[in-house]
Structure 1
Amino acid sequence: MTGSSAGQFIRLGETQRAPVEIHIDGESISCLAGDTLLTAMLLNGRRLRHSEFGDGPRAGFCNMGACQDCWLLLSSGERVRACTTEVRDGMDVVTREAR
């Protein structure tokens, strides 16, 4: 996830909120309380997931829960929309299919 040289997003403000640690495909990333999952992931990388239809990496689209482009899977099996789901400390997101 963080293997990218830079994130898609850059945080410009609200830097004083409490830190939260989440896991993306087993890799820990830092974000802030109140961040959406989409924000946390795109601050730390260039994509949310790869399209299940084979048309490449996806980074969300509408950012308001209407387009269906940012669905992600938690390790618990729960499906969530990254753009409307706030991060929780210890959240564990899976973006790769098990091999």
Structure 2
Amino acid sequence: VLLPASKRGKRGKVGYAIRFHLGQGISARLSEDRKGAGLALPDGSHWQFRVAGEYTGTLSIEDSLFVDGQGRPQPIQQLVLQGMAPRSGGSFAWLFKKMG
């Protein structure tokens, strides 16, 4: 649930981005309908990320960085949900499901 920071200005819409940073070695691929992504983990397991309900924003995969224990940046990926939500707040649902 996204709630407004103040009670003022409840009209119109405001942009948002919800980011899920994935761990090292996790490979992500968008589903054909762009409402989900398959995740392949280094241990060989597969997971599915899925946006639930009537989601009208976009789901994308973007590059990101993770800083390891020695302070070195390591490349990773992130899932990004973004769109516009009413200034009065919005609700978003998603799930992670282990496949197989």
Shorter-normalised TM-score: what interval? under 0.3
Q: Which has the higher contact order (CA 8 A, sep 6+)?
A: 2
Please identify which structure carries the higher helix content: 1
Task: Name the larger-Rg structure.
Answer: 2
TM-score (norm 2): 0.28
More strand by share: 2
Q: What's the TM-score, normalizing by structure 1?
A: 0.28
